[in-house]
Structure 1
């Protein structure tokens, strides 16, 4: 399947300019809602996803869509991931809470998959007008510049990004006789920015347990095509764009250091849940 990657980048950029940025720091109280307690959605999320669906579906007839806001309304939309048709996986605004608070750390994420295989992905940073793009077998780029993970060979060389509770768990081990502790990086509140930093080598390792496909499918392909390595902790299999109920995703710069990172971050367990 041939995809005009640049044209899709143009679609995503135009939708962000039309539906997201005009609302940035201008949301009224009625523009911010809760899908569930603590899970925000804004009028910008809804408008951007609607327009992305229209334009991406028109570009690739017979393709299906799994969008975050569509699934929030009807979880049966997730069944498209198991179909034989190409599937667009869309997160119109990753980091909605940041966006709603007027903070610029958010992104628009899109991936294209078929039969569980990631074909291409885009992470657009509207506030900085930049886009990271990956295509299977063709590498990863940020605005035309190649992205490469750093060649890290041991856990003590790593900067690791973790959720707050897992980060606290690791920090409490500093007083134990466990050898070197990796550097710990804060989370951005937007996995779109996490993945761009991972692919650029700005930090080196990440673990996630909340694995909605729209949050991770675009970034995993970006990381892979930048030379990175990913595997699920419990199943010991590469990530695929499905809904995981009982597993964690661990990303490292290479396969050699993955097991060392798994043992350090998840002592005595094949799947760390907090």
Structure 2
């Protein structure tokens, strides 16, 4: 995606929705504003309203493009069939809803644009910090408009944040045992819109994910890869929004990715 005007328009839309819908509901939700889609998977009135507004405005920006939003897909899973369309907007209106519903950071807004099942642009926005991460395929990663390149690899053990909530207990045990002594293990933020910037900025160096839904990961993977890090399937395959596979490894450099894949990859079959 080479149109800078489109990037500017999308950023303006995201910021408008944050200002008009997301932030007014932050720390201002009633119990009736929060529902459970499935165990430990929450949705709030702000998620629904912000997805509606993002969908409307992005559709107007690119008539004919498909829209795949997290909440629309939860209501009708067939919406995900559009992920391989010629042009598709992929929307997570509030990533980190559990944090948001509890009135705590971090949370963010994620938008990705895919073409024929390849992510070509992505935006990750932190409304509290007004931090906008943006990447375009083959054009680099940018943090608040400034080109971002991952820092040098750390000295000593890398810092690893490993999302294990959707793993089996056997996978979880094997993963943690394999990582023991090789990484400094830290808590995950429970927010992909925060985790991918942490990898790109070098405050975390390794992340593992089992569930890899496109609204959580498409934009962040592109952002990390364009910054010079690496995120891919455990076998090294590129992430494709429509593939519906599980298992991802992200690292703040290709070297750290290769080391982690060698050390931890036997835990996973894909």
Same fold (TM over 0.5): yes
Whether the aligned pair in 1 keeps the contact of 2:161 and 2:208 (CA below 8 Å) is yes
Aligned to 1:252: 251
Whether the aligned pair in 2 keeps the contact of 1:150 and 1:204 (CA below 8 Å) is no
Post-superposition CA distance 1:24-82 (Å, at most 9, x none): 10101110011122211000000000000000000001111110000000000011112
Equivalent residue pairs, number: 263
Counterpart CA distance in 1 for 2:207 and 2:177 is: 18
Is 1:141 matched with 2:142? yes
User: CA 1:173 to 1:229, structure 2 compared with 1: closer, same or farther past 3 Å?
Assistant: closer
Aligned to 1:271: 269
For residue 102 of structure 1, report the CA deviation from its aligned partner.
Answer: 0.4
Aligned to 1:239: 239
Whether the aligned pair in 2 keeps the contact of 1:64 and 1:88 (CA below 8 Å) is yes
Whether the aligned pair in 2 keeps the contact of 1:42 and 1:100 (CA below 8 Å) is yes
What are the residue-to-residue correspondences of 1:60-209 with 2, within 5 Å?
60-84=62-86, 86-152=87-153, 157-164=157-164, 169=174, 172=177, 180-209=181-210
Whether the aligned pair in 2 keeps the contact of 1:11 and 1:52 (CA below 8 Å) is yes
Whether the aligned pair in 1 keeps the contact of 2:125 and 2:133 (CA below 8 Å) is yes
State the secondary structure of the residue aligned to 2:202. coil
Runs of 4+ in 1 over 4 A off after TM superposition: 164-175
Counterpart CA distance in 2 for 1:31 and 1:153 is: 43
For residue 217 of structure 1, report the CA deviation from its aligned partner.
Answer: 0.3
User: CA 1:70 to 1:48, structure 2 compared with 1: closer, same or farther past 3 Å?
Assistant: same
User: CA 1:112 to 1:12, structure 2 compared with 1: closer, same or farther past 3 Å?
Assistant: same
Of the candidates 4, 12, 15, which is equivalent to residue 14 of structure 2?
Answer: 12
Aligned to 1:230: 231
State the secondary structure of the residue aligned to 1:61. coil
For residue 209 of structure 1, report the CA deviation from its aligned partner.
Answer: 1.0
Post-superposition CA distance 1:153-183 (Å, at most 9, x none): 89x54211102567765554688xxxx5112
Counterpart CA distance in 2 for 1:20 and 1:257 is: 36
For residue 200 of structure 1, report the CA deviation from its aligned partner.
Answer: 1.4
Whether the aligned pair in 2 keeps the contact of 1:153 and 1:257 (CA below 8 Å) is no
TM-score w.r.t. structure 1 length?
A: 0.88
Is 1:39 matched with 2:38? no
For residue 129 of structure 1, report the CA deviation from its aligned partner.
Answer: 1.6
Whether the aligned pair in 2 keeps the contact of 1:94 and 1:192 (CA below 8 Å) is yes
State the secondary structure of the residue aligned to 2:16. helix
Post-superposition CA distance 1:80-118 (Å, at most 9, x none): 11222x100000000001000000210000000001121
Counterpart CA distance in 1 for 2:242 and 2:109 is: 19
* Structure 2 gaps, min length 5: 166-170
Counterpart CA distance in 1 for 2:173 and 2:184 is: 13
Counterpart CA distance in 2 for 1:161 and 1:44 is: 28
